[in-house]
């Protein structure tokens, strides 16, 4: 299966950027990400008082010499990261010209992120689906798994109503340890259920990122004559004179985006509103740089 | 609504262009695969009501604008009061009431009801374009006239002022009969009237068939142009009788006058009315005090100077808003011998009648009576006979005897039909003898008699005749269209007057009267001869009525043919309110007939007294008369200056401009484009 959604030039450009989690991860092998468990890495973490049973080899004798008290010296433990991609495959993700649909855009983002994570030695998994059809690939490491994952990304098809909320809840239940959850969706459904879904992920201590994929026409709604709108998710079509309803349409979009903003802020979700006419490499670069502690601090 | 260019109305479907364009636009929509249906549904739901209404209004305004443009181009017409529904008719029939009451004028403009109606109708025809045929039926002649030009309405003698009464049912019948014979197509019938009750004759039996015939003509539209305004403080004057009498100091003229007041103050208050008397050119003025609505002056006497024993005269009131009822004419001459002929084979009855008829009632009059056998019709001096008693079976209609009797009555003379003892004979004048009633020794008591008019009316002083003292033992019933004058017990009519087509048979009518007496003046039938007062009065009243026809000075009601066929008729003095030519006999005036220098007769023509009755038909009465008839009533006022039809294309252009303006306002965006909410700015 061809993976034409991967652009070597983009991959080459982004390989220099690390994919970091915003919080410590719990991995099963050593890696480049912080772990909440103290380990034997070179980076000092903290001192704590000695309690009976501690390994005496980790006593800090210099501190004992200065203070006549026993302290244990702890170091950060570096581990790998689990990147879980949740891709919405509802019918509305098929919006756009063939070859440059919203789902195609999501493929590019997901495939590139999976490739970058694999290059870092991190595990990647994929959860996708629409209502009544869910597909999942638990996170694993290794080039072979990456090939399988990319094949699955390439084989995603948009159809039916959205099942994103259910997919998020399922992922939250099935991913056993802390992971970086990246959601790619148009979120074209009433946003309120998202709040509970994000809280579910946060409760599981996952680091949640959201790529909200929108087309500018969906926001601006600029049409010059009566148009019949065919629902991509199979609902009834609608004939309307856009000039008559444009104002009300924009008001509805405004209320919707306001609600999304409120939910993602409240849930501490790393939210990225992406328009399909934006180069995806720039979107990813912005995402990666925002997660790099050094660059994000300097930017801040 | 009428249009001067109705052909342009074919462009009216163009008004649907905006709707068609809208539908085409809707049909030519493009199809888009769309994901954000949730916003679309929200927006559509919120804009469903007002936006839809706005769109419909815009469409309606565009349709209205085009329709108004097409209407304006078609040059629509509308009346001053109403729009004249429908298109142009093939035939226009004008029924013109030319009665004397239609001469009421607006004192400021001098325009009468009749002339105002003519002007309106001429304007209507001019504005709406020529009808293929214009028919005029006037109340005075009842003869349909075909007009070629609407302007002729103002100049024709058939539209001038008259002193006649109108017979609206007869006018409608004439018009309907004319339309029936001509098979006219779509017809507009304009009836011009001041709605006087006396002209409309609501009691006429003709109305029922008229209603049916009018309703049956679907192609006929009836318009009633009404001028029902009541005169303001109008005075009218009428002469009921004018006769010459001998007095010890010489001849004198005796007049019976009626002065009527109309208007708000007519019921109360006194007023001094100066009346100008003109006798043979000599004028005098006399003042009369009028209390209440009417002053009846009986026996007003004026001395006649030597040499003025024969002549004419007129009475004039001061000018008011109806000049047609301010003047009355009279003529006077030596009274002709009042000759009575009794055709009877019953000597007792004939002698009683002869004795009564031959006795003069006034000094200066000569009464003669001639008794002939019933089969001596040929010996009757018809020209000199004022009153004929026919005591024989009624002749067969169409027979020589019947024709002679009909001519006798038609010439204004009186006829009394007495009951034949045996066979009643055929029917004549619409009446027929029935069976004998009574015969016992007990007289049939008088139950009722007519006191206001007729042979048994009260005397001038108002005292009743001693009719109750009459005893009738035997009377013969009769049937037909009659006006009862005396009824006995058990509703047996004993004396009656035949109702003729010529009218009420009053003294002013050109037609004479026919009376029916059910009993005879002989002892075994009644005590008419012995209790002779009532009998004497009846004979002389019938004689007096007939004597007018043989008199050399005769007073008649103006009307068509009233002057007869005499080619030598000369106008001595007359009313000519508009200076327009009027057919002889239709205008009030004093006339002379006969060869100049030879023996001539004087004639005074006046309007009927019914024209002085101001009562008009109420709306309810009119609705009743024309029930089931599709008609439109248009009330007008004299001097209002309005017109029946005028071009109203400007109004349509204004409507178009307004529609376009409203459309433009509705098409404006609800808010400027820059202020349209930007979802991205607001949300981030």
Are A163 and A42 in a shared domain? no
Structure tokens at B331: 């003529």
Chain B nearest-CA distance from A17, in A, is 27
Q: What is the mean pLDDT of residues B663-676?
A: 68
Which band of pLDDT confidence, cut at 50, 70 and 90, is reported for residue A300?
very low
Are A111 and A231 in a shared domain? yes
Are A183 and A124 in a shared domain? yes
Residue B52: closest C-alpha in chain A: A244
Q: Say whether pLDDT at B204 is over 90.
A: no
Q: For chain B, give the percent of residues with pLDDT over 70.
A: 89
Alpha-carbon distances, residue B49 vs A244, B52, B53, B57 (angstroms): 12, 5, 6, 12
Chain A nearest-CA distance from B665, in A, is 15
CATH number, position A101: 3.40.50.410
Which of B:49-88 have CB within 8 Å of A?
A: 51, 55
Are A192 and A227 in a shared domain? yes
Query: What was the pLDDT predicted at B391?
Result: 92
Within 8 A of B25 by CB-CB distance, chain A residues are 225-226
Are A85 and A121 in a shared domain? yes
Are A113 and A237 in a shared domain? yes
Are A132 and A13 in a shared domain? yes
Within 8 A of A260 by CB-CB distance, chain B residues are 683
Query: What was the pLDDT predicted at B188?
Result: 86
Query: What was the pLDDT predicted at B581?
Result: 53
State the Cα torsion A246-A251-A255-A260 to the nearest 10°.
40
Within 8 A of A159 by CB-CB distance, chain B residues are none
Instruction: Give the lowest-confidence range in A24-28, B536-540, B576-580.
Output: B576-580
Express each pLDDT in A173-219 by its tens digit. 888 888 889 999 999 999 999 999 999 988 888 889 999 999 999 99
Task: Among B27, B30, B41, B43, pick the best mutation site for testing chain A contact (most A Cβ within 10 A).
Answer: B43
Express each pLDDT in B513-537 by its tens digit. 899 999 999 888 898 888 888 899 9
Within 8 A of B56 by CB-CB distance, chain A residues are none
Residue A3 is assigned to a structural domain of this protein? no
Instruction: Give the lowest-confidence range in A16-20, A283-287, B271-275, B391-395.
Output: A16-20
Query: What was the pLDDT predicted at B672?
Result: 46
Residue A223 is assigned to a structural domain of this protein? yes
In sequence order, the 6+-apart residues with CB closer than 8 A to the CB of B505 are: B497, B498, B499, B511, B512, B513, B514, B545
Which of B:165-224 have CB within 8 Å of A?
A: none
Collapsing DSSP to helix, strand or coil, A261 comes out as: helix
Residue A1 is assigned to a structural domain of this protein? no
Instruction: Give the lowest-confidence range in A70-74, A282-286, B76-80, B567-571.
Output: B76-80
Nearest-angstrom CA–CA distance, B367 and B345: 22
Query: What was the pLDDT predicted at B503?
Result: 45
Query: What was the pLDDT predicted at B81?
Result: 42
CB–CB contact A250 B28 (8 Å): no
Are A111 and A244 in a shared domain? yes
Within 8 A of A244 by CB-CB distance, chain B residues are 47, 51, 55
Q: What is the mean pLDDT of residues B304-309?
A: 80
In sequence order, the 6+-apart residues with CB closer than 8 A to the CB of B641 are: none
Chain B nearest-CA distance from A260, in A, is 9
Domains present along chain B, CATH in parentheses: 2-75+650-683 (no CATH), 91-229+621-644 (3.40.50.410), 234-334+553-612 (2.60.40.1930), 338-550 (3.40.50.880)
Residue B32 forms contact with A (CB below 8 Å)? yes
Nearest-angstrom CA–CA distance, A114 and B340: 145
Are A13 and A120 in a shared domain? yes
Residue B44 forms contact with A (CB below 8 Å)? yes
Residue B468 forms contact with A (CB below 8 Å)? no
Alpha-carbon distances, residue A104 vs A148, A168, A193, A220 (angstroms): 18, 21, 26, 22
Strand order in the sheet with B646-647: B2-3, B76-78, B646-647
Q: What is the mean pLDDT of residues A23-35?
A: 61
Q: How many CB contacts within 8 angstroms connect chain A with chain B?
A: 128
Residue B650 forms contact with A (CB below 8 Å)? no
Q: What is the mean pLDDT of residues B390-418?
A: 89
Q: Which of A227, A237, A258 lies at the smallest CB-CB distance from B682? A: A258
Q: What is the mean pLDDT of residues B265-273?
A: 78
Q: What is the mean pLDDT of residues A87-110?
A: 91
Query: What was the pLDDT predicted at B532?
Result: 82
Residue A98 is assigned to a structural domain of this protein? yes
Instruction: Give the lowest-confidence range in A172-186, B124-138, B371-385, B563-577.
Output: B563-577
Query: What was the pLDDT predicted at B415?
Result: 93
Instruction: Provide φ and ψ at B324, rounded to 5°.
Output: -70, -20
Which band of pLDDT confidence, cut at 50, 70 and 90, is reported for residue B654?
very high
CB–CB contact A248 B40 (8 Å): no
DSSP E strand stretches across B509-597: 514-517, 553-557, 569-574, 589-593
Task: Among A252, A265, A274, A275, pick the best mutation site for testing chain B contact (most B Cβ within 10 A).
Answer: A252
Q: Say whether pLDDT at B62 is over 90.
A: yes
Within 8 A of A228 by CB-CB distance, chain B residues are 29-32
Nearest-angstrom CA–CA distance, B45 and B57: 19
Would you say A68 and A50 are in contact if contact means Cβ atoms under 8 Å apart? no
Express each pLDDT in B596-653 by its tens digit. 777 788 888 898 888 888 888 888 999 999 988 888 888 777 666 565 656 678 889 9
Query: What was the pLDDT predicted at A43?
Result: 61
Chain A nearest-CA distance from B660, in A, is 20
Residue A250 is assigned to a structural domain of this protein? yes
How many H-runs (helices) and E-runs (strands) does chain B carry?
12, 31
Collapsing DSSP to helix, strand or coil, B393 comes out as: coil
Residue A26 is assigned to a structural domain of this protein? no
Alpha-carbon distances, residue B302 vs A282, B236, B244, B273, B366 (angstroms): 132, 21, 10, 18, 22
Express each pLDDT in B589-600 by its tens digit. 888 887 777 778
CB–CB contact B670 A247 (8 Å): yes
User: Which has the closest alpha carbon to B270: B241, B300, B293, B254?
Assistant: B293
Q: Say whether pLDDT at A131 is over 90.
A: no
Nearest-angstrom CA–CA distance, A77 and A68: 28
User: Which has the closest alpha carbon to B328: B230, B259, B385?
Assistant: B259
Query: What was the pLDDT predicted at B353?
Result: 93
Are A136 and A191 in a shared domain? yes
Q: Say whether pLDDT at B574 is over 70.
A: yes
Q: Which of B43, B678, B684 lies at the smallest CB-CB distance from A248? A: B43
Domain that holds residue A47: 33-79
A66 or B79, which is more confident: A66
Q: Say whether pLDDT at B307 is over 50.
A: yes
Instruction: Give the lowest-confidence range in A51-55, B484-488, B665-669, B670-674.
Output: B670-674
Would you say B551 and B383 are in contact if contact means Cβ atoms under 8 Å apart? no
CB–CB contact A252 B676 (8 Å): no
Q: What is the mean pLDDT of residues B288-315?
A: 85
Query: What was the pLDDT predicted at B80?
Result: 43
Q: Which of B29, B677, B682 lies at the smallest CB-CB distance from A225? A: B29
Helix axes B206-216, B168-182, angle to 10 degrees: 40
- Split into its structural domains, chain A has a count of 2
Q: Which of A186, A229, A245 lies at the smallest CB-CB distance from B32? A: A229
Q: What is the mean pLDDT of residues B317-337?
A: 86
Within 8 A of B50 by CB-CB distance, chain A residues are none
Average per-residue pLDDT for chain B: 83
Collapsing DSSP to helix, strand or coil, A49 comes out as: strand
Nearest-angstrom CA–CA distance, A227 and B34: 10
Q: Say whether pLDDT at B83 is over 60.
A: no
CB–CB contact A95 B42 (8 Å): no
Q: What is the mean pLDDT of residues B499-511?
A: 54
A129 or A11, which is more confident: A11
Query: What was the pLDDT predicted at B587?
Result: 84
Are A140 and A42 in a shared domain? no
User: Which has the closest alpha carbon to A110: A251, A300, A284, A229?
Assistant: A284
Are A64 and A162 in a shared domain? no
Of A46, A63, A79, the one marking the end of a domain is: A79
Longest CA–CA separation in chain A, Å: 85
CB–CB contact A257 B38 (8 Å): no
Query: What was the pLDDT predicted at B82?
Result: 40
């Amino acid at each position: 299966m061809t993976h034409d959604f991967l652009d070597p030039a983009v991959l080459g450009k982004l390989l220099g950027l690390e994919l970091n989690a915003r919080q410590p991860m719990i991995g099963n092998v050593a890696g480049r990400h912080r772990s909440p468990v103290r380990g034997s890495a070179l980076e000092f973490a903290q001192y704590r008082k000695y309690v009976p049973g501690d390994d005496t080899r980790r006593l800090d004798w210099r501190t004992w010499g200065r203070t006549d008290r026993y302290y244990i010296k702890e170091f950060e433990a570096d581990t790998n990261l689990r990147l879980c991609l949740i891709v919405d495959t509802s019918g509305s993700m098929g919006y756009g010209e063939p070859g440059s649909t919203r789902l195609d855009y999501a493929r590019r983002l997901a495939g590139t992120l999976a490739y970058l994570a694999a290059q870092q030695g991190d595990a990647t998994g994929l959860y996708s689906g629409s209502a009544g059809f869910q597909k999942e690939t638990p996170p694993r490491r290794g080039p072979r798994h990456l090939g399988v994952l990319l094949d699955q990304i390439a084989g995603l098809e948009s159809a039916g109503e959205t099942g994103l909320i259910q997919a998020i809840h399922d992922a939250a239940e099935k991913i056993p340890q802390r992971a970086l959850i990246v959601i790619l969706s148009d979120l074209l459904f009433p946003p309120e259920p998202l709040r509970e879904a994000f809280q579910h992920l946060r409760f599981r201590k996952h680091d949640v990122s959201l790529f909200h994929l929108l087309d500018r026409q969906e926001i601006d709604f600029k049409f010059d004559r009566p148009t019949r709108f065919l629902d991509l998710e199979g609902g009834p079509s609608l004939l309307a004179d856009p000039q008559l309803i444009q104002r009300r349409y924009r008001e509805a979009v405004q209320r919707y985006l306001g609600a999304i903003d409120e939910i993602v802020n409240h849930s501490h979700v790393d939210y990225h509103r992406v328009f399909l006419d934006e180069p995806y490499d720039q979107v990813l670069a912005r995402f990666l740089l925002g997660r790099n502690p050094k660059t994000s601090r300097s930017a801040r | 609504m009428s249009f001067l260019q109705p052909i342009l109305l074919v462009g009216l479907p163009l008004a649907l262009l905006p709707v068609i364009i809208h539908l085409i636009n809707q049909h030519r929509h493009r199809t888009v695969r769309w994901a954000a249906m949730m916003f679309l549904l929200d927006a559509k739901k919120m804009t469903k009501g007002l936006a839809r209404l706005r769109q419909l209004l815009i469409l309606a305004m565009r349709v209205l604008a085009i329709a108004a443009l097409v209407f304006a181009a078609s040059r629509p017409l509308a009346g001053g009061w109403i729009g004249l529904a429908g298109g142009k008719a093939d035939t226009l029939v004008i029924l013109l009431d030319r009665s004397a009451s239609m001469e009421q004028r607006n004192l400021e403009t001098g325009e009468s009801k009749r002339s105002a109606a003519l002007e309106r109708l001429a304007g209507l025809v001019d504005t709406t374009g020529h009808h293929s045929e214009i028919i005029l039926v006037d109340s005075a002649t009842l003869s349909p006239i075909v007009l070629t030009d609407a302007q002729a309405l103002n100049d024709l003698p058939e539209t001038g002022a008259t002193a006649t009464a109108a017979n609206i049912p007869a006018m409608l019948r004439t018009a309907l009969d004319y339309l029936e014979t001509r098979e006219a197509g779509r017809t507009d019938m304009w009836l011009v009237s001041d709605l006087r009750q006396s002209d409309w004759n609501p009691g006429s039996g003709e109305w029922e068939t008229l209603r049916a015939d009018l309703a049956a003509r679907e192609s006929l539209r009836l318009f009633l142009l009404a001028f029902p305004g009541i005169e303001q403080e109008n005075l009218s004057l009428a002469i009921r009788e004018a006769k010459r009498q001998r007095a010890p100091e010489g001849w004198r003229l005796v007049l019976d006058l009626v002065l009527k007041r109309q208007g708000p103050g007519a019921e109360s208050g006194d007023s001094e009315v100066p009346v100008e008397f003109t006798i043979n050119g000599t004028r005098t003025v006399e003042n009369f005090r009028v209390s209440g609505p009417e002053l009846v002056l009986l026996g007003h006497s004026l001395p006649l100077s030597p040499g003025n024993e024969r002549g004419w005269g007129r009475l004039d009131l001061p000018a008011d808003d109806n000049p047609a009822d301010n003047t009355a004419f009279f003529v006077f001459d030596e009274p002709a011998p009042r000759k009575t002929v009794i055709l009877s084979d019953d000597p007792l009855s004939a002698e009683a009648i002869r004795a009564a008829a031959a006795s003069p009632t006034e000094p200066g009059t000569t009464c003669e009576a001639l008794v002939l056998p019933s089969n001596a019709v040929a010996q009757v001096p018809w020209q000199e006979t004022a009153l004929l008693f026919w005591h024989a079976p009624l002749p067969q209609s169409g027979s020589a005897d019947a024709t002679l009797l009909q001519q006798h009555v038609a010439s204004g003379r009186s006829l009394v039909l007495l009951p034949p003892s045996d066979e009643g004979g055929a029917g004549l004048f619409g009446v027929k003898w029935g069976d004998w009633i009574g015969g016992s020794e007990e007289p049939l008591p008088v139950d009722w008699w007519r006191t206001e008019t007729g042979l048994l009316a009260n005397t001038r002083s108002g005292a009743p005749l001693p009719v109750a003292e009459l005893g009738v033992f035997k009377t013969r019933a009769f049937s037909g269209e009659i006006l009862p004058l005396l009824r006995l017990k058990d509703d047996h009519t004993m004396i009656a007057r035949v109702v003729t087509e010529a009218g009420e048979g009053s003294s002013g009518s050109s037609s004479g009267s026919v009376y029916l007496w059910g009993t005879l003046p002989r002892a075994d039938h009644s005590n008419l001869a012995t209790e002779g007062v009532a009998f004497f009065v009846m004979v002389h009243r019938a004689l007096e009525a007939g004597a007018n026809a043989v008199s050399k000075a005769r007073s008649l009601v103006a009307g068509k043919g009233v002057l007869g066929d005499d080619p030598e008729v000369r106008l001595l003095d007359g009313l000519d309110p508009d200076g327009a030519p009027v057919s002889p006999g239709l205008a009030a005036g004093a006339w002379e007939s006969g060869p100049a220098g030879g023996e001539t007769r004087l004639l005074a023509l006046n309007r009927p007294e019914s024209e002085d009755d101001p009562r008009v038909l109420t709306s309810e009465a009119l609705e009743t008369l024309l029930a089931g008839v599709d008609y439109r009533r248009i009330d007008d006022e004299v001097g209002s200056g309005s017109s029946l039809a005028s071009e109203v294309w400007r109004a349509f252009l204004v409507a178009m401009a307004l529609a376009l303006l409203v459309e433009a306002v509705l098409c404006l965006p609800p808010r400027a484009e820059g202020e349209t909410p930007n979802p991205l700015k607001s949300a981030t």
